């Protein structure tokens, strides 16, 4: 039960921050969901750092890892919003934004995870 509560609390904090980031960076004028993009990339970097650090040093307990990686990063990043925003691009016929957003999200997201792990290995 304690682990579920830790994931719940971490997810709440992450989701709240993602909401605020979206309010700040997503603009109806340009249509590009920068808030979601930034949250997903930053979350990918953070999960790489957190899990890389946990694996390298064993300094994080299982509960801390659940709170930070599963809870916070899981709540902060969002695949469902990413999928919906791509649906909007396709529905509006904006295939260029769809392609750029999708490809850059995947590539930069993967690179961010690897960068986070690599940073921890260098420490």
pLDDT at 31: 79
Is the confidence at residue 6, as pLDDT, over 80?
Answer: yes
Q: So where are the chain's domains?
A: 2-122
| pLDDT digit string, tens, across residues 14-55 | 999 999 999 999 887 777 899 999 999 999 999 999 999 999
Is the pTM value of this prediction over 0.85? yes
Q: In this predicted structure, what is the pLDDT of residue 36? A: 93
How confident is the model over 56-100, as pLDDT tens digits? 998 999 999 999 999 999 999 989 999 999 999 999 999 999 999
> Closest by alpha carbon to 34, among 47, 48, 46, 18?
18
B/e letters for 50-79, b = 16+ CB within 10 Å, e = fewer, are: bbbbbeeeeebeeeebbbbbbbbbbbbbbe
pLDDT of residue 106: 96
- Quote the pLDDT of residue 27: 82
């Amino acid at each position: 039960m304690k682990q579920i509560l830790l994931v719940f609390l971490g997810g709440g904090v992450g989701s709240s921050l993602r909401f605020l980031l979206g309010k700040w960076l997503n603009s109806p004028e340009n249509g590009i969901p920068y808030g979601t993009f930034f949250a997903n990339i930053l979350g990918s970097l953070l999960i790489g750092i957190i899990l890389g650090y946990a694996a390298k040093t064993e300094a994080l307990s299982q509960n801390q890892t659940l709170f930070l990686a599963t809870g916070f990063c899981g709540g902060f990043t969002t695949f469902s919003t990413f999928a919906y925003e791509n649906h909007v691009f396709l529905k509006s016929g904006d295939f260029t934004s769809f392609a750029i957003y999708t490809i850059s999200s995947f590539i930069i997201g993967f690179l961010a995870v690897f960068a986070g792990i690599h940073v921890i290995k260098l420490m």
